[in-house]
Amino acid sequence: MNDTQRLAGLRIVLIVVGLIAVFAIWPLMFLWPSGWTWHSGHSDYPLMIVGIYATLGVFLLMASRDPMKHLSLIWFTVWSSVVHGAIMAVQSFGVEMDGARHVGHLFGDVPALFIVAAALAFFTPRGDKARTHTPL
């Protein structure tokens, strides 16, 4: 894969992840709660998560226009996704006070975060190309 193809791939990943963050997280919480929702009953958590990820999604969509100018946002998304996914993976083995289990997240949002991180990391330039901000 040459540099031009890698940058094109990065743009596509930014657009796909951005659109998913803006439009798909809220519906997934309702369609597949065992894999995407970490609460039972009334909770303010879903709206907060949707708000944070929708905002991130908008900024990833804007970054797709010129990814080289937004490398810090891209790397923040990579590393925050790894950390968030790792924490959720550990927590998915726990049991809530009401007896609820969260193992379903190991097939839902946990792998989704790792896939996002891996895809963005794979396509994002590193080294001299990233430092100089020159076109690939």
Per-residue pLDDT tens over the stretch 61-100: 999 999 999 999 999 999 999 999 999 999 888 776 556 6
Q: What pLDDT, on a 0 to 100 scale, did the predictor assign at position 122?
A: 97
- In the chain, which stretches have pLDDT less than 50? 136
Q: What is the pTM of this model?
A: 0.87
Q: What pLDDT, on a 0 to 100 scale, did the predictor assign at position 104?
A: 87
Note down the domain range covering 101.
3-33+44-131
- Does residue 136 form part of some domain? no
Q: Where are the alpha helices (DSSP H) in 1-136?
A: 3-23, 25-31, 33-36, 45-63, 71-91, 109-123, 127-132
The rounded Cα 79 to chain-centroid distance in angstroms is 10
What Rg do the C-alpha atoms of the chain give, in angstroms?
16
- Does residue 48 form part of some domain? yes
Q: What pLDDT, on a 0 to 100 scale, did the predictor assign at position 128?
A: 67
- Does residue 39 form part of some domain? no
- Does residue 79 form part of some domain? yes
Domain tally, the chain: 1
Q: Are 22 and 125 in contact (CB under 8 A)?
A: no
- Does residue 120 form part of some domain? yes
- Please, what's the largest Cα pairwise distance for the chain? 54
